Structure 1
Amino acid sequence: MGMTQKQQDKAKQRFYEDIDNVDGNDLEYASKKGRKKVDSLDGDPPGALEKLWDDIKTMIQLIWDYRNGNYKAVPWKIIAAVVAAVIYFVSPIDFIPDFIPGLGYIDDALVIKLALDMAGEDLASYKEWKKTL
């Protein structure tokens, strides 16, 4: 069993609305809570997120570096999309609660994928930048 079309539409709508509301406080929240959640799940990422796991970690690192002023070569709209996706991922309140075995992270995966579709080129540039350090 997966997400219904209605659940998918609601998750997408929330994600796109959240992008427009991201501010500086959300950068800190997403970077700290994102790191904490990834650390807690890193040995065994949820199945729905397994293929996206490295990208999720890269998104959180990007937010961290952007927030700290280390990397600013990314448009605000892309940062806002990445932040909105990470906040959705760490939030206990979403359309399919994370604690439901086998299903809990399906909506998170959808939102992360939407952000990756928007931020793909910028994440690739960020990864190249990280290699130069």
Structure 2
Amino acid sequence: MNKNFTENQLIRFLGRLGNKWGTGHDSVSTILRKTKEFIAQKKDKIKFLEKVVILLEMLEAHSEGKYEIDDGSLGLIISALAYLVLPTDLIPDMIVGIGFADDLYAFKLVFDQLSFEIESFKSWQKAELSKIDKASVED
């Protein structure tokens, strides 16, 4: 694999992953499962995974029909999560020290692209928690 990748190569690779995985229910379920397993195994070793959780939460809320995500954003989220769990991407993950550098960069690109959607989701989450808190006080 080429260790000197460009942003365009990474974007094209993410696009191919998005096309491969699609946005159907089975794809979303598989990505959710694989990403949760990956995070559980690697969370202590890879620092940026704590930030990845928001994309996982967005995808999960969408798959449960609780939160709407447009197809473009959904494709980006699925692509980024698929890229994370794919061990042989632009820089294979097994290369000690740099194996996850491309994954980190991929997530930076996705977070930059989805910053508005992520903030909207966080606001929605906060409102949902507020509803739950109010309901528990009323009980």
TM-score by length of 2: 0.79
Q: How much does 1:108 deviate?
A: 0.8
Secondary structure (helix, strand or coil) at the match of 1:34 reads helix
User: What residue number does 2:17 align with?
Assistant: 18
Deviations 1:5-28 (A, max 9, x none): 45x543221112333452213211
Highest relative contact order (Cα 8 Å, sep 6+), 1 or 2? 1
Please state if 1:131 is matched with 2:126: yes
Secondary structure (helix, strand or coil) at the match of 1:4 reads coil
Deviations 1:75-109 (A, max 9, x none): 11101101100000011221211121110101111
Q: Within 2, Cα distance between the matches of 1:87 and 1:5?
A: 18
Higher mean C-alpha displacement, 53-62 vs 82-91: 53-62
Which protein shows a greater Rg? Answer: 2
User: What residue number does 1:86 align with?
Assistant: 81
TM-score by length of 1: 0.82
- Residues 34 and 108 (structure 1), Cα distance of their counterparts in 2 relative to 1, 3 Å cut: same
Return 5+ residue gaps in structure 2 as ranges. Answer: 130-139
Q: Pairwise CA RMSD of aligned residues?
A: 1.8
Q: Is the 8 A contact 2:5 2:90 kept in 1?
A: no
Q: Within 2, Cα distance between the matches of 1:114 and 1:34?
A: 18
Deviations 1:43-100 (A, max 9, x none): x142xxx2x433201001111111111111x311101101100000011221211121
User: What residue number does 1:34 align with?
Assistant: 35
Q: Is the 8 A contact 1:31 1:61 kept in 2?
A: no
> Where does 1:1-133 land on structure 2 (aligned, <5 Å)?
3-5=3-5, 8-21=7-20, 22-24=22-24, 25-42=26-43, 44-46=44-46, 50=47, 52-72=48-68, 74-132=69-127, 133=129
Return 5+ residue gaps in structure 1 as ranges. Answer: none
Aligned residues: 124
